[in-house]
Structure 1
């Protein structure tokens, strides 16, 4: 009984100890050379490294290094990796803890762990304290049910006190990472605490090439592999996505008992990362395969015909994940601003699959469910976020916090619904006109897909131009022969002119790159 009591007492006394893990400073595992694609962020953090290495250089001039640096970026952009690189470059102890590890069900435990963490940091100074996902404890105060006595808010108050209580000669720098800076308490972001913000964006084409070079180092690559071409084919990929891409290509090469990684392995890995692995065991009827072929051909032909749509890179009716087929669109360059005409063409491309099904089969299927959802979201974003409505004017509707807060009345809501309906209907009409005018090409592309199941490169351009193809292609899902004969194309419908729209600009747009065919939820 005495031993049990002593054991429980020891556990009770250690309950408020910090759970931060200290990495040894004499064995740096990550340095700035292991981080690519975030050159501006590394430049900002070089100053932190120099302060930890040579503090007297700054103190002799009366300079004060920022006490806290907040790393802000989307998931997978390398916030944790960059923090570890700072510790590796500086050669100092590195304390790593997640924001959720502070908070427990017992009141006061989180604050006690914060005090213990900073006491350990002071004993090991100079050092770095890294708090990952700080939004777990750093949210706005006053929003909890417990008010100011809430456990999370007490933990946040203790962090604020500890950061503000540093002496000017204490060589402790706090790094924190989050992808939601908008919900952090303002007291965290004021000068004297996290007074420097380093933003890590998704890498551009140059950054993607540098990241691919880092992760492919030491791997046996075929001589014909061009990382620049691969970087151009992966817009919107984060650093974590590119690392996973290299690993998937290596796994595919290993399954084939290859000695080196070939370019087809990378091309397959890109599709696996975006859409999932091939479902070769999925057997479909010839009718469903034909419908999928015309659906994807409709997407591609509309995109090829519109001046503001992205370039068609590949069409495939090979099943992946929940998608029966997909059409991959790639921009010619990295894009940071979007125009209204680009949005309008984007919606027309999403409606191309539905229109092709109706024109050829006189039938409506569930394959366009994801397309309709995306077209509606684009229209809502144009009106409510970007002020691209011709009738409602240049203003936003709704406040975007944890959930949307409505700041408009029922009459405006009806006008928004009507505007969305008009935008989607105009996109539908535009797709109808394009496919009516190019129905021979639509049939040629669909028949090629039925036979070869995928097309890209020169063969794709020849199909668009109405020329003869070389006849290559991929093999994929087998089809069950069915009794009904192939569907004959319906006669072309008369053209209906869509309403013209002025050209405006925008930014922070939804990601668009793959048009898919599926049943139910895509």
Structure 2
């Protein structure tokens, strides 16, 4: 038998143990099934036993090598090994992969490679990079661009690319291969999502020398739980009724993400942009964590404050911090993650309200953030859900809230009794198990989630100081401490709140939820009502509500001989709210005078202050409605006194108790006039 002559060319052995079998050019587009016989993936000739075993290398090299192997075919790896004037683009899962991949390729495939790495933090000019890439290719060098976003690479390299490699976030197969090579022992079958949401440094940190495969797996699972929120105790999305419309949106999102993962729907069918707004203490930032855990996806939270705090505050550093946060969210997507931007009113402020000088600075930042949000929602590879949250939605640039961006805007309202009860159960952490918390929930109704948390802490402290366990009475006392008021003040407070409730029922304008006495500044209590909503508000309905607001002043004047400061002093006081209601008849809804729109909400207070004609018309109506309130209070004197006496005694009455006290005592109820009647 004639021996086959040996090839003089040097055999090249890849770190993963595959040997090049021939020098024949192979089309890089061929997959494993298209390779020549004997060259299928996994069928490569092993390294001869006489050859010394290669060092196992660093954990970073092993993980990168396993991921690169999974993203390429034998044919592609042969072309990389030959290194003959190739232009290659490598898209990696995130910025942290860029430098390690470039270092691995240079170490594995020789020094003829020139690299253009883009992790999004440098300021290299694209035109300069394009010239360099073209020059290196024309000299016969191999040029590789490595980035997490293809748009960051030089244009000449993108257009001339012979090979494009997309390295995905490591799945269970890649992680198992890396663990086996590192510890020389297979961990067995792994969850395909074991490294979901983990960036390269977090994966590498799980690999420790002289420890077993199970130790690596355990650390990876713990790291994954820390990002999905499953290791953090947060309210359960399915029962978090205190979030109202936001909870319903979150439940729909969780179902859509599950359907997307199961291949039932495309990503374009998923709503993925929302902005939450409310006063402080309503749990906006907390909701992002609740949502992440409910959807089982990683969460990356950032804020305008962190962008400025983590750098010198110059424009370029702020932009870099924003991009870094977005890049981290992209890297953690497996394939879905949530990117939460807190203080979005500070990050993307309304430019229309700025001076020309301020616009010069903010236009660059806002435009860049809008482009990043567009990129985040474009869903090329990573699938991102973007959540914005702020205290004042009117300060957010309208361009961010348009369809296609944060198109869903949700206001978080004070939780009702059911929501308060759920918040209580969460903060009690099993204490008072079996007790009915509905009574406490009703007492705390109208409080913010932050206030409920403080009340629970206050109740625990009281029980601890008393040397006993927590009791329902401690929670009730924390919500409504029995403050000692002088008799005159207590009587005025009770009369004030009782008048609101009784006149509401006398006009059949709605229902009373509860009435309570709790001193907060000049305010002596709170009356929670539900106005009738069987139809859109008419002039009659608005004037009835204004009359209810003015009834407390009328009652104070009738029963004490004077009016206190408790009815005014702020835009949300009785007088402030009533002024806005009446002004809206003239300036918002065209129900009094000319059909013209001049504004809405609190801005009407400024319009009333500056427009003499509007001020005169509103004053005339307010005086008329106050006389009406005087008549109704006088007619329902007995009912108001009965409710006030019980309220001063108990400090809180629910709606049913109020209705029972006034039953048969209401007077002065007028016939309902058609809408628009004067």
TM-score by length of 2: 0.52
Does residue 259 (structure 1) correspond to residue 508 (structure 2)? The answer is no
Residue 117, structure 1, aligned to residue 117, structure 2: no
Q: Given the alignment of the two structures, is residue 162 of structure 1 paired with residue 367 of structure 2, yes or no?
A: no
From the superposition, tell whether residues 390 and 185 of structure 1 become closer, same or farther in structure 2 (CA, over 3 Å): closer
Output the CA distance in 2 between the equivalents of 1:260 and 1:113.
46
Q: Residues 52-71 of structure 1: matches in 2 within 5 Å?
A: 54=261, 57=263, 63-64=267-268, 69-71=273-275
Cα offset for 1:270?
Answer: 4.5
Match of 2:554 in 1: 355
Q: Indicate if the aligned counterparts of 1:205 and 1:334 stay in contact, CA closer than 8 A.
A: no
Query: Which aligned pairs between 1:476-515 and structure 2 lie closer than 5 A?
Result: 503=675
SS of corresponding position for 1:57:
coil
Distance 1:230 1:135, change over 3 A: same
How far off is 1:425 after superposition? 1.9
Write the distance in 2 (CA, Å) between the matches of 1:335 and 1:300: 20
Question: Rg bigger for which structure?
Answer: 2
Classify 1:237/1:332 alpha carbon distance in 2 versus 1 (closer, same or farther; 3 Å): farther
Distance 2:604 2:385 in 1: 33
Of 219, 230, 242, the match for 2:431: 219
Alignment of 1:312-331 (within 5 A): 313-314=514-515, 316=517, 320-323=519-522, 325-326=524-525, 328-331=527-530
> Could you tell me how far 1:170 is from its partner in structure 2?
2.1
Cα offset, 1:329, TM superposition:
3.9
Indicate which of 512, 522, 530 corresponds to 1:311. 512
When residues 195 and 431 of structure 1 are mapped into structure 2, their CA distance, relative to the original with a 3 A threshold, is closer
Q: Within 5 Å, which residues of 2 pair with 1:225-244?
A: 225=436, 227=438, 239-240=449-450, 243=453
Look up the SS of the partner of 2:324 in the other structure.
Answer: helix
Q: How does 1:434-473 map to 2 (within 5 A)?
A: 434-440=632-638, 452=649, 454=651, 456=653, 464=662
Partner Cα distance (1:368, 1:146) in 2: 42
- Structure 1: distance between partners of 2:536 and 2:664: 34
Computed over aligned residues only, the root mean square deviation of the Cα atoms, in angstroms, reads 4.9
SS in 1 for 2:519: coil
- The 5 A counterparts of 1:104-253 are 105-126=313-334, 127-141=337-351, 143-146=354-357, 149-150=360-361, 152-165=362-375, 168-179=379-390, 180-189=392-401, 194=405, 196-197=407-408, 199=410, 201-202=412-413, 211=423, 214-215=426-427, 218-221=430-433, 223=435, 225=436, 227=438, 239-240=449-450, 243=453, 250=460
Asked if structure 2 preserves the Cα contact closer than 8 Å seen for 1:137 and 1:153, the reply is no
C-alpha distance in structure 2 between counterparts of 1:128 and 1:313, whole Å: 39
Aligned residues: 436
Q: What is the distance in 2 between the residues matched to 1:456 and 1:314?
A: 5
Whole-Å separation in 2 of the counterparts to 1:388 and 1:459 = 36
**Matching residue of 1:82:** 287
- Give 3-state SS (helix, strand or coil) of 2:287's partner: helix
Among candidates 556, 571, 575, match of residue 375 of structure 1:
575
Decide whether the 8 Å contact of 2:588 with 2:599 is kept in 1. no
Query: 2:497·2:527 contact (CA, 8 Å) conserved in 1?
Result: no
Distance in 2, Cα, partners of 1:337 & 1:107: 48
1:218 Cα deviation (Å)?
1.1
Q: 2:544 aligns with which of 345, 348, 351?
A: 345
Deviation string, structure 1 residues 348-383 (Cα, Å, up to 9, x no partner): 333334333433454454454459952353233343
Instruction: Please state whether the residue corresponding to 1:320 is helix, strand or coil.
Output: strand
Are 1:125 and 1:170, in contact at CA under 8 Å, matched by a contact in 2?
no
Distance in 1 between residues matched to 2:492 and 2:402, nearest whole Å:
58
Kindly report which structure 2 residues correspond to 1:266-305, keeping only aligned pairs within 5 A, or say none. 266-271=475-480, 277-280=481-484, 284=486, 291-292=492-493, 294-295=495-496, 298-305=499-506
| 2:251 corresponds to 1:43 | yes
Superposed displacement of residue 307, structure 1: 1.9
Is the Cα contact below 8 Å between 1:355 and 1:432 reproduced in 2?
yes
**What SS does structure 2 have at the residue aligned with 1:331?**
strand
- Superposed CA deviations along residues 217-275 of structure 1, whole A, max 9, x for unmatched, are 5121564x253x6656666555555555555555555555553532x54544444xxxx
Against the structure 1 CA distance between its residues 358 and 91, is the aligned structure 2 distance closer, same or farther, given a 3 Å change threshold?
closer
> Separation in 2 of the partners of 1:391 and 1:254?
59
Shift of 1:26: 2.5
Kept after mapping to 1: 8 A contact 2:326/2:372: yes
Q: Distance in 2 between matches of 1:84 and 1:369?
A: 39
Q: Structure 2: any 5+ residue segments left out of the alignment?
A: 1-120, 123-197, 203-222
TM normalised by structure 1 equals 0.65
